[in-house]
Amino acid sequence: MQWEIVIGLEVHTQLSTQSKIFSGAPTRFGAAPNAQACAVDIALPGVLPVLNHGAVERAIRFGLSVGAKINSPSIFARKNYFYPDLPKGYQISQYELPVVAGGSVKIQVGGAGNQYEKTIRLTRAHLEEDAGKSLHEDFQGMTGIDLNRAGTPLLEIVSEPDMRSSDEAVAFAKSLHSLVRWIDICDGNMQEGSFRCDANVSVRLLGSDRLGTRCEIKNLNSFRFLEKAINYEARRQIEILEDGGTIRQETRLYDSDKNETRTMRSKEDAQDYRYFPDPDLLPLAISEDWINHVRTMLPQLPEVRRSNYITEYGLSSYDAGVLTSSKEMASYFERTVELLPAQAKLCANWIMSEVNGRLHKESLDIAQCPVTPAQLSLLLLRVSDGTISGKTAKDVFDAMWRIECNGDADLIIESKGLKQISDMSEIEKLIDDILAANPQQVSDYHSGKEKAFNSLVGQAMKATKGKANPSQVNDLLKKKLAG
Amino acid sequence: MSLTLDDIKRVANLACIETSETEATNALIHLSDIFNLIEQMQAVDTSSVNPMSHSQDLVQRLRDDMVTESDQRELFQSIAPKTDSGLYLVPKVLE
């Protein structure tokens, strides 16, 4: 039997406002417990919520960047449930008329070579407040409550069940992650919980047009866990169905230590949230003027940038995708290529492999890269004009990374004597010496042993300490051996 | 729509309100009266009226995104039954 996996995602993005969504308390991460929880956040009697302009504006920014409809009026609702980290006994959220309705996100799935594009539709995105945090470690046999996070603005983005594999789900989550950072509405810090995913997973026989019973997997805070949790969950459901069982609709938790999902609560004891419009909050009106103002402030979107890279610089779809994964990355690439416009592909390759690899190894962000775009472009100029080989360039880059000679490629090449020998007569003399010193290899070559040739090239490169142009050495050697 | 005693018990349970059989029966009578009133209102043709989410025909005023609150933890926690290391302590909960 051939099964198809159907996935929809709900993504909670923490909006990057200074203050909370309904109070003037700060949202800074890492403060002492309850030092950022004011009377509104801890729900003292008599307090009233006042909506944060910055939170609404960020929601509009998102809506416009995914081509969604901005609802006006938009309504806030109470979602009722009891938990000690929710002091009001309800969460202010949106039910009917969320700020953002519809829209879509284009994703690129797969690696270089086998990449395809897909459009994922969004159902909605609504504003809501975050809850506090419960600490279940032992506090005199009790639970500790920190309400600093209570009232932090969230935009919950809900997709349609348009994804058919964990790869597509991860590509979608990554696309959203890059988009919300690109348009500056969320810092995207997953360790700090600024971007968390819930996945709705079901399976059905390939070709069927009816959706299977779904399970919701909660609180996946890394792309790797998202992928693993979906794969595990799909396998679990398929096994049950193939054994003739049925799937129970339930909420499940992913345990990353055991790589499995397990029941958190089933549908029978699922909460009835009894949503109703919050009488403390009047309808939110969003004027056309406001929307237009936000639209004019929006940066050029990654999707547009990506297709520019493909048409203007001739980059592959995959490369263009990697280079537009963040605004900082795109800006680094553009500032490098600006100084070396004829070598866009070389710049792209270097940034994706050498620069990115090194940043990754040292857990640095591109904004913290010790090699500036101008310095990198000088290095790449020296590769393209033949001053140094690509291999030597990696050594120079290494020195630049350590900020030797102020990161100046020319000075490093000079001081280390790395300049490629382009003087033919010098190389010729070297090769003559090597041929004279290795009669055995020469005769081996003439009797058809390819290996002997490689050994001679190796010796020539060694003799020049890698400074000879390998293709020149190759050509010259062949010529000499033939002649 | 008519309410049953089971509905009352379910809502009471969701709202975490302990109700005795007599209280539930009384609540059923009161709430049924309210429901009857709602039913009466629903008989009115409102097809030409836009739905409202609030009783006042006003729009939400917004505040600028600025921090205006300072740390008053000590004051707030002075009335809390139990605290430890800045945390509010509550009876142990685990889902």
Residues in chain B whose Cβ is within 8 Å of chain A: 14-16, 52-56, 58-69, 71-73, 76-77, 82, 84-95
CA atoms within 13 A on the CB side of A124: 13
Segment B18-62, tens digit of pLDDT:
999 999 999 999 999 999 999 899 889 989 988 888 888 888 999
Q: What is the pLDDT of residue A411?
A: 87
Q: What is the pLDDT of residue A422?
A: 67
Interface test with A, best of B60, B68, B76, B78 (most A CBs within 10 A): B60
Whether residue B13 is contained in a domain is answered as: yes
Contact between B33 and B23 (Cβ < 8 Å) = no
DSSP for residue B84: E
Whether residue B51 is contained in a domain is answered as: no
pLDDT band at A270 (very low <50, low <70, confident <90, very high): low
Nearest to B31 by CA among B70, B53, B5: B5
Whether residue B34 is contained in a domain is answered as: yes
Whether residue B23 is contained in a domain is answered as: yes
Span of A61-70, A91-100, A251-260, A429-438 with lowest mean pLDDT: A429-438
Subunit contact A36:B71, Cβ cutoff 8 A: yes
pLDDT band at A430 (very low <50, low <70, confident <90, very high): confident
pLDDT band at B1 (very low <50, low <70, confident <90, very high): low
Segment A107-126, tens digit of pLDDT:
999 877 788 999 999 999 99
Contacts of B61 in chain A (CB under 8 A): 50-51, 282
Subunit contact B65:A19, Cβ cutoff 8 A: yes
For the cut 90, the answer to whether the pLDDT of residue A12 exceeds it is yes
Q: Which two structure tokens, joined as six digits, stand for A294?
A: 């936000």
Contacts of A142 in chain B (CB under 8 A): 82, 84, 89-92
Tell me whether A112 touches chain B (CB under 8 Å): no
Q: What is the pLDDT of residue A269?
A: 57
Considering A288-297, A434-443, A472-481, the range whose residues carry the highest mean pLDDT is A288-297
Whether residue B92 is contained in a domain is answered as: no
Interface test with A, best of B11, B18, B65 (most A CBs within 10 A): B65
For the cut 90, the answer to whether the pLDDT of residue A442 exceeds it is no
Write out the residue range of the structural domain in which residue B21 sits: 5-42
Contacts of A36 in chain B (CB under 8 A): 71
* SS3 sequence of chain A: CCEEEEEEEEEEEECCCCECCCCCCECCCCCCCCCCCCCCCCCCCCCCCCCEHHHHHHHHHHHHHCCCEECCCECCEEEECCCCCCCCCEEEECCCCCCEECCEEEEEECCCCCCEEEEEEEEEEEEEECCCEEEEEEECCEEEEECCCCCCEEEEEEECCCECCHHHHHHHHHHHHHHHHHCCCCCCCCCCCCEEEEEEEEEEECCCCCCCCCEEEEEECCHHHHHHHHHHHHHHHHHHHHCCCCCCCEEEEEECCCCEEEEEEECCCCCCCCCEECCCCCCECCCHHHHHHHHHHCCCCHHHHHHHHHHHHCCCHHHHHHHCCCHHHHHHHHHHHHCCHHHHHHHHHHHHHHHHHHHHHCCCCHHHCCCCHHHHHHHHHHHHCCCCCHHHHHHHHHHHHCCHHHHCHHHHHHHHCCCCECCHHHHHHHHHHHHHHCHHHHHHHHCCCHHHHHHHHHHHHHHCCCCECHHHHHHHHHHHHHC
Residue of A nearest to B88 (CA): A145
Span of A104-118, A140-154, A269-283, A466-480 with lowest mean pLDDT: A466-480
Mean of the pLDDT values across residues A417-421?
A: 75
CB-nearest partner of A51 from B52, B62, B92 = B62
Tell me whether A262 touches chain B (CB under 8 Å): no
Subunit contact A279:B54, Cβ cutoff 8 A: yes
Chain B neighbours among A 268-297 (CB < 8 Å)?
272, 274, 277, 279, 281-285
CB-nearest partner of B93 from A25, A36, A84 = A84
Tell me whether A264 touches chain B (CB under 8 Å): yes
Strands A215-220 and A250-255: parallel
Span of A102-106, A215-219, B23-27, B48-52 with lowest mean pLDDT: B48-52
* SS3 sequence of B25-74: HHHHHHHHHHHHHHHHHHCCCCCCCCCCCCCCCCCCCCECCCCCCCCCHH
Q: Which two structure tokens, joined as six digits, stand for B37?
A: 């009133």
Q: How many domains, chain B?
A: 1
Subunit contact B90:A145, Cβ cutoff 8 A: yes
Mean of the pLDDT values across residues A268-289?
A: 88
Contacts of B73 in chain A (CB under 8 A): 32, 34-35, 37
Whether residue B68 is contained in a domain is answered as: no
Subunit contact B90:A264, Cβ cutoff 8 A: no
Segment B34-45, tens digit of pLDDT:
999 998 998 899
Name the more confident of A270 and A312: A312
Mean of the pLDDT values across residues A369-397?
A: 90
Task: Name A199's bridge partners.
Answer: A9, A217
Q: Could you tell me what percent of chain A has a pLDDT over 90?
A: 67
Chain B neighbours among A 47-86 (CB < 8 Å)?
50-56, 73, 75, 80, 82-84
Whether residue B90 is contained in a domain is answered as: no
Whether residue B67 is contained in a domain is answered as: no
Mean of the pLDDT values across residues A43-69?
A: 97
Mean per-residue pLDDT over chain A, rounded: 91
For the cut 70, the answer to whether the pLDDT of residue A85 exceeds it is yes
Residue of B nearest to A281 (CA): B60
